Amino acid sequence: MASLLIVNAHIVNEGTVLEGDVLIRHGRIEALGALQGRAADQVLDAGGRYLLPGMIDSQSVCQNGFSTLAAESRAAVAGGVTTLLEVGAGKQLLTTPGSLETLRGECGGHCHANFGFYLTATTDNLEAVRALDTQLVCGINLFLGAGTDNAAVMLEDPEQLEQLFQQAAVPLVAHCADRPAVTENEESYRGIYGDEIPVENHSLIHSDEAVFEATQRVLQLARKAGCRLQLMQVSSVRETGLLGELAQDDQLIGAEVAVPWLHFCDEDYPALGPLLKLDPAVKTAEDRAGLIQGVLDGSIELIGTGHHAVSLAAKRSSNYFDITSGMPMLQHALITLLEHYHDGIFSLELIAEKTSHRVAERFGIPERGFIREGYWADLVLVDLEQPFRDSHYQVLSRSGWSPFDGYPFRSSIRATWVNGQQVYQAGQLPDCPARGMPLSFDHER
């Protein structure tokens, strides 16, 4: 692999922005500092643009095995996402150690981003969960009333949950909702509209009350067991209130918010309609403001993409219950966060912390997530002064559509490197082998 010297960059890392250079050799960062004149096979002048650690997506849903994950990884690197922690969906949920190891092997040589997987706990695989090789899994995925319609993976038995919380040797990640409350709301609106419920009622069906009650119960279990728990896709200001109470005295419990919940609110339903149907639902502008404040004050420690590879056809139905929840976000998550930077809300240092540093620390990902000597060179170069207008035609995800069609972004992704190999440059994916590696995890860190 050719060595590379990146010069004249603003390096965003560990709370600072420093002008400097980065020397990459054998896929790793060999040196940082004033390095002009050092020998390298290639030299790239960053022209004062900003170099960040590549985004580590704390949970993506690409579905359909390695072929779709490989395809979605193209969208990932085009968006500055260099590592995917994949949960799968539907029949592609990983529920046995064997299925996890098979998928790890299949993705080798096909995925443009690095990849790791969650094992999903079900009602009948808890023994296998306890016996798994902790180096091969980023965490245990729990559907606690939310995130799936698959009854086999909905954990509702309090005794099973308590045992799992007490015995888990890896982080638990939870999607929480009070399913009976959601079902009651669904039937109430079905009584008014039949199956053709206007989609703008989605945030009232998947209400903040349903989410809050379930989250409160899960937090109580986690604190009692003393386990590592990550709440995923926090969506309401009431949840951030619970998290704020924990942030100061419980370092084992953390939370993630995904980019759509930081950008959209229920006022966007008239423009986006069923494209905005997500689980959990986006809620009010007040909830969105509360989530942003949670990121700023540390109540929420991670920001994920919220990516779910849903086709446009799956969004086109007059039947509310047939509209699939989710939206493709891998290609747009980081540049959407940069909109918050331009608005004076998030600093670049905070974006790097929430999308890379803390994700690597929380999930025990060694030698990634930081721009440090000796670490793997997973990097993204962003141009804060190069605007572009998004369109469906630019989307690399198999979904084939963007929730930002026509949106004028103020920044762009200039280049992305995975393990020292340039995998994206200014709108182009180089014709080179996929460089993504399977991750190993160190949960003792």
pLDDT in tens, 340-365: 999 999 999 999 999 999 999 999 99
Range from 30-44, 54-68, 287-301 carrying the lowest mean pLDDT:
54-68
**Mean pLDDT throughout 180-206?**
95
DSSP letter assigned to residue 353: I
Predicted pLDDT at 91: 59
DSSP symbols for 263-281: H--GGGHHHHGGGG--SSP
Predicted pLDDT at 30: 98
pLDDT in tens, 225-246: 888 999 999 999 999 988 877 7
Predicted pLDDT at 37: 86
Among 114, 84, 123, 116, which Cα is nearest to 101's?
116
Task: Give the type of residue at 71.
Answer: A
Higher-confidence position of 11 and 107: 11
Predicted pLDDT at 268: 98
- Residues 205, 181: Cα–Cα separation, whole Å: 8
List of residues 6+ apart from 436 with CB closer than 8 A: 73, 107, 111, 112, 113, 114, 115, 418, 419
Predicted pLDDT at 348: 99
**What are the structural domain ranges in the chain?**
54-362
DSSP letter assigned to residue 122: -
User: Which CATH number does 54-362 carry?
Assistant: 3.20.20.140
Range from 48-62, 78-92, 133-147, 148-162 carrying the lowest mean pLDDT:
148-162
Mean pLDDT estimate for the chain:
91
Residue 84 pLDDT class (50, 70, 90 cuts): very high
**Mean pLDDT throughout 203-224?**
89
| Cβ(368)–Cβ(375) below 8 Å | yes
Identify the residue whose tokens are 């670490």: 375
List of residues 6+ apart from 102 with CB closer than 8 A: none
- Residues 233, 61: Cα–Cα separation, whole Å: 13
Does residue 249 register a pLDDT over 80? no
